[in-house]
Amino acid sequence: MYYKFNVMKSLALIPFFLLLTACNGHSDYSSGLQAQVDSLQNKLNNSYKPGLGEFMSGIQVHHAKLWFAGINSNWKLADFEINEIKESVDDIQKFNTDRPEVKSIGMINLAIEGISEAIKKQDAQLFKRNFGVLTNTCNNCHNATDHGFNVIVIPTTPPVSNQQFKPVP
């Protein structure tokens, strides 16, 4: 009887030890996952993030190309360029949240909509008028964010010499 009792006690302890072993393995698994998360977070924190200046330089080039596309009635290219500007504004809001200037960038949205409308209508006069609004809005944003020294103007020469701005027949 004593033997049966000890065997029963031993058998009763087996689930306890299995549970203890399983929990210990889970802890190792959790700490391994946490190490992977920490490693990925470190890589993310140290990955390249374009600065506000890189985005703004890109917008400036698209702004100039937009002008030459529009005044040449190349509406497909103009539509492409205004969408590139939209993408850049979206990326600024996504990647440069630590910059206080980003809070003001939304002021450009109405001007972008005005240009998009002129492109959709293929209206050269409306395009020119709304391009002036877009340019002034850029400067208003620069002034509001203490970057008034960065004055944007309607371009007089194409930003690149290796692109045709007239529509392809």
Residues 25-74: tens digit of each pLDDT: 556 778 888 888 888 888 888 888 889 999 999 999 999 999 999 999 99
Helices (H) and strands (E) in the chain, counts: 5, 0
Cα–Cα distance, 155 to 67 (Å, whole number): 7
Domain that includes residue 135, residue range: 52-144
The verdict on 88 and 20 lying in the same domain is no
The verdict on 56 and 82 lying in the same domain is yes
The confidence band for 129, taking pLDDT boundaries of 50, 70 and 90, is very high
What predicted TM-score, i.e. pTM, was given to this entire model?
0.76
Average pLDDT of the chain to the nearest whole number: 88
| 73 falls within a domain | yes
Question: What is the mean pLDDT of the segment spanning 104-128?
Answer: 97
Q: What is the CATH number of the domain that holds 82?
A: 1.20.120
The verdict on 96 and 134 lying in the same domain is yes
Residue with tokens 């009763």: 12
Residue type, 79: D
Q: What is the DSSP letter of 48?
A: -
Number of domains in the chain: 2
| 96 falls within a domain | yes
Q: Residue 166 pLDDT > 90, yes or no?
A: yes
Cα–Cα distance, 85 to 136 (Å, whole number): 15
| 157 falls within a domain | no
Q: What is the pLDDT of residues 112-122, one digit of tens each?
A: 999 999 999 99
Residue 108: CB partners within 8 Å, gap ≥ 6?
89, 134, 137, 138, 141
The verdict on 58 and 37 lying in the same domain is no
Cα–Cα distance, 141 to 112 (Å, whole number): 14
Give exposure, 82-98, as e/b (b: 16+ Cβ within 10 Å).
bebbbebbeebeebbee
| 169 falls within a domain | no
The verdict on 38 and 76 lying in the same domain is no
